[in-house]
Amino acid sequence: IVVGGVQKQPAYIAQGGSEAGVQLAVHPLAARALLGLPAGALTSDDELVTSGAEVLGKRATEVRERLCEQRSWADRFAVLGTYLRERAAAGEDGAPVRSEVAEAWAWLARHRGAGTLTGLAEHVALSPRRLTSVFRAETGLSPKQAARLMRFQCARNTVVRSVAVGRAPDLARVAAECGYFDHSHLVRDFRRYTGVSPTAWLAEECRNIQAGGHLYGEE
């Protein structure tokens, strides 16, 4: 069991042979309720992931063993779903996410990563410096880093939707629609977050997209 925070650059994991498991994407603002600590506590420049048993406790180890015992994926998902709902219900009594941070994230999401830090800070009635401090402590990202990731996600999803319907993506149009200065700006962010150009990324992911793999984890 491993748990990792939000990554700001591509991470490559070498593994031998084959493996099977369940990968769960947790919204940064849901980390408190589900994991018992803010997502910012999982972000480290030294370690990509943290032992899930240390974060989640003995119960998580028991659930993992139960998952290994199940004979179908439907049963495994049922076991995991029950455990996650119990974790979330128990976490509702813990310290909530600061309202300013929650509203700042929602504002960035509504604007798809556009806007200024000054405008965002004014919206939540905090100074830019204070907002950056509390936002990073909760999510592991500064507001600017979160905005850049959201803008990239918007562009990536637009590209994926084009490929999914059999249409070649117009990267210049995607860049304009998602708030980039130009096509080159979009290419730089693709390299920053995936390690390759948009063309190379599509070459690697095209079959997965066409098979419907892009639908997983979008919500």
Q: Where are the domains of the chain?
A: 2-91, 100-144, 155-215
Which residue's structure tokens are 């941070």? Answer: 101
Residues 178-197: tens digit of each pLDDT: 999 899 999 999 999 989 99
Query: Residue 183 contacts by C-beta under 8 Å, 6 or more apart in sequence?
Result: 171, 172, 175
- Taking the C-alpha atoms of residue 198 and residue 173, their distance in angstroms, rounded to an integer, is 14
Residue 129 has pLDDT above 80, yes or no: yes
Query: Residue 136 contacts by C-beta under 8 Å, 6 or more apart in sequence?
Result: 40, 142
Please state the φ and ψ torsions of residue 130, each to the nearest 5 degrees. Answer: -65, -40
Q: Max alpha carbon distance in the chain (Å)? A: 54
Q: Smallest Cα–Cα separation from 195: which of 2, 11, 4?
A: 11
Query: Residue 108 contacts by C-beta under 8 Å, 6 or more apart in sequence?
Result: 115, 120, 143, 146, 147, 150
| Predicted model pTM | 0.84
Residue by residue, DSSP assigns 27-39 as: -GGGHHHHHSS-G
- Residue 57: CB atoms within 10 A of its CB come to 11
**Mean pLDDT within 116-140:** 96
Domains 100-144 and 155-215 share a fold: yes
Q: Smallest Cα–Cα separation from 132: which of 2, 21, 40?
A: 40
In the CATH hierarchy, which fold is given to the domain comprising 155-215? Arc Repressor Mutant, subunit A (1.10.10)
Residues 71-116: tens digit of each pLDDT: 999 999 999 999 999 988 887 667 889 999 999 999 999 998 888 9
Residues 2-59: tens digit of each pLDDT: 888 888 888 777 777 887 888 888 999 999 988 888 999 988 766 777 888 888 888 9
100-144 CATH: 1.10.10.60
